[in-house]
Amino acid sequence: MKKVINSPKAPKAIGPYSQAIEVNGTLYISGQLPIDASTGKFAEGGIKEQTEQALKNIGYILEEAGYSFRDVVKSTCLLSDIADFAAMNEVYAKYYTQDCPARAAFAVKSLPMGALVEIETIAAK
């Protein structure tokens, strides 16, 4: 049975999609931009601050659904500039310290609203 998950702490979807969908013990989190839900704006700063905010948003959605970062099995990190990979990775490593999930990270031509990073996540129990 499909269940829509929305956390009031994470930014609302900016299009016709859900923050996350849970089905059969697997949580699919839509790509999270570095939007601070309390201000509706991107986290101030550069790639590190934006990565931190995107991961905080993921954490809020995981929590709302009863999951944690330890349940994450796959992440996809989209970067507007591959030169930001090392800095993004430095922040990402604070959230995944052991039994890290599978991951893909690559640069794209551009991201919504001019973001520097977007991260989508899959978690399973």
- Tell me the C-alpha distance between 98 and 27, whole Å: 20
For CA atoms 21, 7, 100, 91, the dihedral sign is positive
The total number of structural domains in the chain stands at 1
* Side-chain half-sphere exposure of 81, counting CA atoms within 13 A: 10
* Side-chain half-sphere exposure of 91, counting CA atoms within 13 A: 19
pLDDT digits (tens, 9 = 90+) for 73-103: 999 999 999 999 999 999 999 999 999 999 9
Q: What is the DSSP string of the chain?
A: --EEE--TTSPPPSSSS-SEEEETTEEEEEEEPSEETTTTEEPSSSHHHHHHHHHHHHHHHHHHHT--GGGEEEEEEEES-GGGHHHHHHHHHHH--SSPPEEEEEE-S--GGG-SEEEEEEEE-
Write the CATH number for 118. Answer: 3.30.1330.40
Instruction: Please give the residue range of the domain that contains residue 30.
Output: 3-124
- Tell me the C-alpha distance between 49 and 13, whole Å: 20
What pLDDT is stored for residue 1 in this prediction? 87
Instruction: Kindly report the pTM of this predicted structure.
Output: 0.96
Residues 5-9, mean pLDDT to the nearest whole number: 96
What pLDDT is stored for residue 65 in this prediction? 98
- Tell me the C-alpha distance between 3 and 64, whole Å: 12
Q: What is the mean pLDDT of the chain?
A: 96
What pLDDT is stored for residue 45 in this prediction? 95
Quick one: what percent of the chain has pLDDT higher than 90? 97
